[in-house]
């Protein structure tokens, strides 16, 4: 993964976590380092939308988008496998990978999109199961959110997560 791809992953990871004071200016200050005009435009539209509302309203938007609607829950494995064994294995693999990279789970389940993007932003090789679920899960989340709330600013972030983040698992040499 290139430095640019890692930067985009880290930027998306920050944008897709629960809102916090001072997060919107940090997101805005990271935008000039995104050379792709389409990606920059999408993330800019999100940043402008959240800067036009209060922190409390942003928290409500995040909760309404990701926490109150299980259809758009930000848990990649859940969208593909539900609560089955494959999801549990993915989460165990991700927990190990996060420990190896010193990533704090911030009280989230390991397959939370924000944590996955933070991990991908380190450049470390992803677990093979992550490559299997990432694209179909993010595309499913995007389709559901577009149908449920076509004006939701998080759509722009999910579009970037779908189009700009490509996971490649290194060959094991078998």
For residue 100, what pLDDT is reported? 95
Query: How confident is the prediction along the chain (174 residues), in pLDDT tens digits per residue?
Result: 677 789 999 999 999 999 999 999 999 999 999 989 999 999 999 999 999 999 999 999 999 999 987 669 999 999 999 999 999 999 999 999 999 999 999 899 999 999 999 999 999 999 999 999 999 999 999 999 999 999 999 999 999 999 988 887 666 544
For residue 171, what pLDDT is reported? 65
Structural domain includes residue 171: no
Structural domain includes residue 174: no
For residue 5, what pLDDT is reported? 87
For residue 172, what pLDDT is reported? 58
For residue 3, what pLDDT is reported? 77
For residue 174, what pLDDT is reported? 42
Structural domain includes residue 169: no
Structural domain includes residue 108: yes
**Residue 106 CA: distances (Å) to CA of 79, 98, 109:** 21, 11, 9
Q: What angle do CA 166, 168, 173 make, to 5 degrees?
A: 175
Q: Name the phi and psi angles at 119, rounded to 5.
A: -65, -45
User: How many structural domains compose the chain?
Assistant: 1
Quote the domain boundaries for residue 122. Answer: 3-163
Structural domain includes residue 152: yes
Q: What angle do CA 55, 10, 159 make, to 5 degrees?
A: 75
């Amino acid at each position: 993964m290139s430095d640019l791809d890692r930067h985009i992953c880290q930027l998306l990871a920050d944008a897709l976590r629960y809102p916090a004071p001072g997060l919107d200016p940090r997101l805005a200050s990271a935008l000039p380092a995104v050379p792709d005009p389409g990606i920059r435009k999408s993330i800019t539209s999100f940043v402008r939308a959240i800067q036009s509302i209060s922190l409390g309203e942003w928290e409500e938007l995040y909760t309404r988008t990701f926490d109150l609607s299980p259809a758009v829950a930000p848990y990649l494995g859940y969208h593909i496998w539900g609560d089955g064994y494959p999801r549990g294995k993915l989460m165990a693999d991700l927990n190990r990978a996060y420990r190896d990279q010193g990533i704090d789970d911030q009280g989230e389940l390991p397959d939370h999109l924000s944590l996955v993007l933070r991990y991908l932003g380190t450049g470390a090789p992803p677990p093979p199961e992550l490559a299997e679920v990432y694209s179909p899960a993010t595309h499913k989340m995007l389709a559901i959110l577009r149908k449920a709330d076509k004006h939701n600013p998080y759509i722009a972030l999910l579009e970037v997560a779908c189009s700009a983040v490509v996971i490649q698992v290194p060959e094991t040499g078998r």
